[in-house]
Amino acid sequence: MIGTEHIINIDKPMDWTSFDVVNKIRFATKIRKVGHAGTLDPFATGVLIVLTGKNTKRQSEFMAMPKVYEAEITLGHLMDTGDRTGKITESVPVPKLDQETILAALSGFEGEIQQIPPMYSAKKVKGQKLYNLARAGKVVEREPTTIMIHSIELLEFSAHSLKLKVKCGRGTYVRVLAEDIARALGTVAYVNELKRLAVGDYRIEDAISIPEFIEKWKSSAA
């Protein structure tokens, strides 16, 4: 653990921003160069790759790796943020769904698809981050981007929820994917729970918590 060059697979806790994690590790290790490779929303948990030292230059390499998410989606309500932290902006009845109908809808989102970035995101339009505009009550036009959905697996469903496992490429917003899938099913939706299971070969099973990392760091420095 001694040294300044690390690739750390952190299991990000709920309600922490990705930069909270970076700052905590920077403070604990006193390493000057610390960054992450792919933002996780504060409400989301799971694999966050933290890079230190010269490895920070490899950020793009890690961000280009496919990612796997497990998402619990609530049907019937639309949130301004696309997730459970927001405010309801629309409520729509949920049609009676069966597995065949859901699987048919999901298949339409596999492969290369177009996606419009959400207002509540760090993407910039004319130099301004969208979430800053959204918090000011502004909505601006966003150009669709091409993303890759490698696979979508239906894990379970009920009358008002879906649980999906999504393997996707860089730039995918699972919140937007959930909304688009819901529209294909004749309703609206938001993401209630989101967990990143993998970034490339870095898996949640091998991730460590922030306290575990700090304890290992202190032990190796003793």
What pLDDT does 140 receive? 67
User: Which tokens hold the place of 63?
Assistant: 């961000």
DSSP-based three-state secondary structure for 162: strand
What pLDDT does 3 receive? 65
Q: Is 80 a catalytic residue?
A: no
One of 3.30.930.10, 3.40.47.10, 3.30.2350.10, 3.40.50.1980 is the CATH number of 69-194, namely 3.30.2350.10
pLDDT tens track of the chain, all 222 residues? 556 789 999 999 999 999 999 999 999 999 999 999 988 999 999 999 999 999 999 999 999 999 999 999 999 999 999 999 999 999 999 999 999 999 999 999 999 999 988 766 677 767 777 667 667 777 767 788 999 999 999 999 999 999 999 999 999 999 999 999 999 999 999 999 999 999 999 999 999 999 999 999 988 865
**Which residue do the tokens 């979508």 mark?**
152
> Quick one: which of 53, 42, 45 has its CA closest to 10?
45
> Quick one: which of 165, 178, 131 has its CA closest to 17?
131
Using CB atoms within 10 A of its CB, is residue 84 exposed (0-12), middle (13-18) or buried (19+)? middle
- Class of 7-64+200-221 per CATH? alpha beta
Backbone dihedral region of 126: left (phi > 0), alpha (psi from -120 to 50 degrees) or beta?
left
Of 11, 41, 83, 180, catalytic = 41
Pairing mode, strands 189-199 and 45-52? parallel
DSSP-based three-state secondary structure for 76: coil
What pLDDT does 48 receive? 97
Portions of the chain given CATH number 3.30.2350.10 = 7-64+200-221, 69-194
For residue 160, the tally of other CB atoms under 10 A from its CB is 14
What pLDDT does 59 receive? 93
DSSP-based three-state secondary structure for 183: helix
Phi, psi for 46 (deg, rounded to 5): 110, -160
Give helix 210-221 / helix 18-29 axis angle, nearest 10°.
Answer: 10
